[in-house]
């Protein structure tokens, strides 16, 4: 995704080889330090990178403070991990003043987060430029938790990404949690009825209702990937197949027959 959305910025692997050769190692050690004290930082950084890239490309515009910036928009109010990027930036400025962009720090940190949770590593092209514009109004580009498959596909297509990219990137939710307020409507009075979302596995429903009681604490966190929320693996897709998806938009990926065959491909890519 990064390679697609930063096309034209002149990114390449080893961009800082001569100007700041320790850039990647400084970011990696910083992420690892924060991860040791709080494992939730890994999914937080991965999510932040996605939210950054999906609006104006991977330009760190999600980090910009101010009124009506991306950071203040509803889809981004739950983003966490800013202190990790700040920590890495401080260290990099001490080692290589004015060289490494925040956009590259975030891209490297996302990769390191996947590796720390057991996922594959990859070479990260660097050389991104930090954006100067950040508008809350543009976060409507981000896919929402109730969106139809067609709407999700349209949003990804607008970024030069296809349906397989959509499925694979959703698989990033194999780590991390969400709040009850974003899916509890599936458990009670779904679509104005007195029943729950029929796509939820019948044996899984009582577990979710126990975690998120009706009229309970909407901020309570629940793992996206039940039983494997701290490991980057393919069990997230297995859970969707078995009707154990948390967000409605995720479960729709499995129930939409047109996407079913792509899950086998995604498993191969993520393992």
Is 250 assigned to a binding site? no
* Tens digit of pLDDT at every position of the chain (271 positions): 444 444 446 899 999 999 999 999 999 999 999 999 999 999 999 999 999 999 999 999 999 999 999 999 999 999 999 999 999 999 999 999 999 999 999 999 999 999 999 999 999 999 999 999 999 999 999 999 888 889 999 999 999 999 889 988 999 999 999 999 999 999 998 987 878 999 999 999 999 999 999 999 999 999 999 999 999 999 999 999 899 999 999 998 887 755 555 555 455 445 4
Is 59 assigned to a binding site? yes
Is 86 assigned to a binding site? no
Is 147 assigned to a binding site? no
The string of pLDDT tens digits covering residues 7-25 is 446 899 999 999 999 999 9
The string of pLDDT tens digits covering residues 207-265 is 999 999 999 999 999 999 999 999 999 999 999 989 999 999 999 888 775 555 555 54
The catalytically annotated residue of 7, 34, 49, 51 is 51
Nearest CA to 174 among 236, 267, 116, 118? 236
Nearest CA to 104 among 42, 23, 46? 23
End-to-end CA distance of the chain: 18
| 7 tagged catalytic | no
3-state DSSP assignment of residue 38: coil
pLDDT at 2: 45
Is 52 assigned to a binding site? yes
Structural domains of the chain, with CATH? 22-141 (1.10.520.10), 149-264 (1.10.420.10)
Nearest CA to 56 among 136, 151, 127, 149? 136
């Amino acid at each position: 995704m990064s390679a697609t959305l930063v096309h034209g910025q002149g990114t390449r692997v080893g961009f800082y080889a001569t100007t700041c050769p320790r850039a990647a190692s400084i970011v990696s050690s910083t992420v690892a330090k924060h991860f040791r004290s709080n494992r939730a930082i890994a999914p937080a950084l991965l999510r932040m990178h996605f939210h950054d890239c999906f609006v104006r490309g991977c330009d760190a515009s999600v980090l910009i403070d101010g009124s009506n910036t991306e950071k203040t928009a509803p889809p981004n109010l739950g983003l966490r991990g800013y202190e990790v990027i700040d920590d890495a930036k401080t260290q990099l400025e001490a080692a290589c003043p004015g060289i490494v962009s925040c956009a590259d720090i975030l891209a490297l940190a996302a990769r390191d987060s996947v590796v720390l949770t057991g996922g594959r590593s990859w070479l990260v092209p660097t050389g991104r430029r930090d954006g100067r514009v950040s508008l809350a109004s543009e976060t409507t580009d981000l896919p929402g938790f109730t969106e139809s498959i067609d709407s999700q596909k349209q949003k990804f297509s607008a970024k030069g990404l296809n349906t397989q990219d959509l499925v694979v990137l959703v698989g990033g939710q194999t780590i991390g949690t969400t709040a009850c307020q974003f899916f509890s409507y599936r458990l009670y009075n779904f679509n104005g009825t007195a029943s729950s979302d029929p796509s939820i596995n019948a044996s899984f429903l009582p577990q979710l209702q126990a975690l998120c009681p009706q009229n309970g604490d909407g901020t309570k966190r629940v793992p996206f990937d039940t039983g494997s929320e701290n490991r980057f693996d393919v069990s997230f897709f297995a859970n969707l197949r078995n009707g154990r998806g948390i967000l409605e938009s995720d479960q729709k990926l499995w129930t939409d027959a047109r996407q079913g065959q792509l899950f086998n491909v995604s498993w191969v890519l993520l393992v």
